[in-house]
Amino acid sequence: MKKIIFLGFIALFCNGCLYMNERGVSTQYYNDCKEYYDATGTYQKECPHNIVDWK
């Protein structure tokens, strides 16, 4: 019973601070990716790591 209450509390507590976006589970709703072209004209995309990343 204590385990169920604890898991329920964790689910309610983290509900407002974890979001599922297109790259995984993160603490931010939108991706903070930086997209740019480098000096050679190659497209680069740098994204910060999520809590859980999937591709």
* CA-CA-CA-CA dihedral for 7, 13, 19, 23, to nearest 10: -50
Expressed as residue numbers, the domain containing 40 is 2-53
Per-residue pLDDT at 3 exceeds 70: yes
Report the amino acid identity of residue 52.
Answer: V
The model's pLDDT over 7-42, given as tens digits with 9 standing for 90+, comes to: 777 776 766 677 777 778 887 777 788 999 999 999
Q: What is the pTM of this model?
A: 0.48
Q: How many CB atoms sit inside 10 A of residue 26's CB? A: 21
Distance in angstroms between the alpha carbons of the first and the last residue of the chain = 37
E strand segments, the chain: 19-21, 24-26, 34-37, 43-46, 52-53
Total domain count, the chain: 1
Structure tokens at 49: 């790591």
